[in-house]
Amino acid sequence: MSFTSVWLREPRKPSGPGRSREEIVAAAVELLDQEGLDGLSMRKLGARLSAGATSLYWYVATKDELLELAYDQVWGEMAVVDPDEVGWRDALSALAHSMRQVILRHPWSGDLIGRLPALGPNALHVADRMRRMFKAAGFEGSVIDFASSTLTAYVFGMTIPEIAWNAAMGQTRYDADEMRATVRKAAADFPEMLESVDLDVYEDPQAVRELCFDFGLVSVLDGLERRLAT
């Protein structure tokens, strides 16, 4: 089976005074943000744009092609800082934090990681700039790719479960005292674990997730920096 991607062919020019591809993609991202992957259809998108679903197929041959375009739009929101101005660690830290926030802002994009190719100009720009950051640190050759994969794997690994938790909780605001009581009961037979749990975290779980992400990110960058010395 041959590999196909919307990025491997020239984009079609508008056939008339209808919507542009950019407008279609922007509307698709809005629909995905509101209804998720299951809520996206050419029919719904056409209705949102006051255009027939058939006319949308002039720009995208399949729903997956539309998702590729929307996915790349998300990559374009990630902040890329010049390592020559702020240093390689701060540049990578800023990118990692931005990557997490963008994925959380568009939770459907987490389901596309590894499923669709990231071959769009925005995704390739981020990948290229990340390579430059690791080069500025002193990494060379294939180790640059290994380091990039390590960093993105950390961001994805921390962020995707957070998306799942947010989806499960929805808009629910649980009671902090009730959550603490639940944890005490669940861990009653595991005193070591209960002793290590900071029950105050349930007052502001979002802040704790931010701190946890930053702690892990600093640890990853520390480990990568140490490898330079060896």
Assign 193 a pLDDT band (cuts: 50, 70, 90).
Answer: confident
Return the exposure string of 59-93: e unless at least 16 CB atoms fall within 10 Å of the residue's CB, then b. Answer: bbeeebbbbbbbbbbbbebbebbebeeeebbebbb
Name the average pLDDT for the chain. 88
Domains of the chain (ranges, CATH numbers): 6-75 (1.10.10.60), 83-229 (1.10.357.10)
C-alpha span between 113 and 106 (Å, rounded): 12
pLDDT for 196-230, tens place per residue? 666 666 667 788 889 999 999 999 999 999 999 87
17-24 contacts at long range (C-beta below 8 A, 24 or more positions apart): 18/51, 18/55, 19/49, 19/51, 19/55, 21/59, 21/60, 21/69, 23/49, 24/49, 24/56, 24/59, 24/60, 24/66, 24/69
- Is the pLDDT at 17 greater than 60, yes or no? no
- Is the pLDDT at 12 greater than 90, yes or no? no
The pLDDT score that the predictor gives to residue 9 is 81
pLDDT for 30-76, tens place per residue? 999 999 999 999 889 988 888 766 677 777 888 899 999 999 999 99
Share of the chain above pLDDT 70, in %: 90
Share of the chain above pLDDT 90, in %: 57
Tokens 């070591």, residue?
192
105's CB contacts (< 8 A; 6+ apart) are: 33, 77
Residues in the chain: 230
The pLDDT score that the predictor gives to residue 173 is 67
The pLDDT score that the predictor gives to residue 204 is 74
- Is the pLDDT at 126 greater than 60, yes or no? yes
The tokens for 176 are: 């902090």
